[in-house]
Amino acid sequence: MDLTGKIAIVTGVSKGIGRATAEALLAKGAIVAGWGRTAPEGLTHERFQFFECDIRNEVSVQEAYVDTQREVGAEVRILVNNAGIGNMGPVDGFSSDDWHAMFDTNVHGVFYCTKVVLPQMKKQGEGHIINVASLAGTAGSPNMAGYCATKFAVRGFSDALFKEVRQDGVRVTCVMPGSVETNFNGAEPGAEPDPHKMQPEDIAATIVHALEAPKATMLSEIQMRPSQPK
């Protein structure tokens, strides 16, 4: 798909992979509606508009979508479900509130955002949904049971969804990065890029690659790993 002039929604746009993806899409000529609880600092572009949205709340998602269609355009072609949080800890010491917050954001939010864009994508016979999961959706890790559970859920959702909507002209890609240098889990990215981790821009470039695939091709799953991890 040529991305010039295409309308894209990116969730979790304030920093990390979401912001990098918005910037990569803008560089390709797309029109980007950035959804998030806070606006990305310093990101100003004539083809970028920020919409405040808490994806954990279905009404907030519906309102952001109506606002996006009214202010940016009706024909949304791309949805990047990127917003996500990770709370770590042992299962028997894990806060139930933290558990629910992860599922509300990482799983329920993906459902709400996907559900709201699908009717228009089906109507126009074209659309692409990118779900940002994680390698934690392929294998469990100690002290990450809740996070792994949410990302396994996103992977399963994506696998079922692509089979459900492919005949409608809607493509679905599940992107599963390993270690990325972001604010994930409260860590601050270093001043110098960590050569043992991928950068948000690397994930964004892969998302663009999936979006630009020839129309007859769907990259249904992409696993990404650092080339030379520690």
Which amino acids are annotated catalytic?
147
- For 56, 196, 225, the CA distances from 136, given in Å and listed in that order, are 21, 18, 12
Which residues are 172's β-sheet partners?
129
CB atoms within 10 A of CB 179: 17
The DSSP result for 162-223, as a single string, is HHHHGGGTEEEEEEEE-SB-SSGGGPPPPSS--TTSB-HHHHHHHHHHHHTS-TT----EEE
22 neighbors 208 (Cβ within 8 angstroms): no
Q: Are 9 and 68 in contact (CB under 8 A)?
A: yes
CB 25 within 8 A of CB 9: no
For 77-87, b/e burial (b = at least 16 CB within 10 A) is bbbbbbbbbbb
Cβ 9 vs Cβ 31: under 8 Å: no
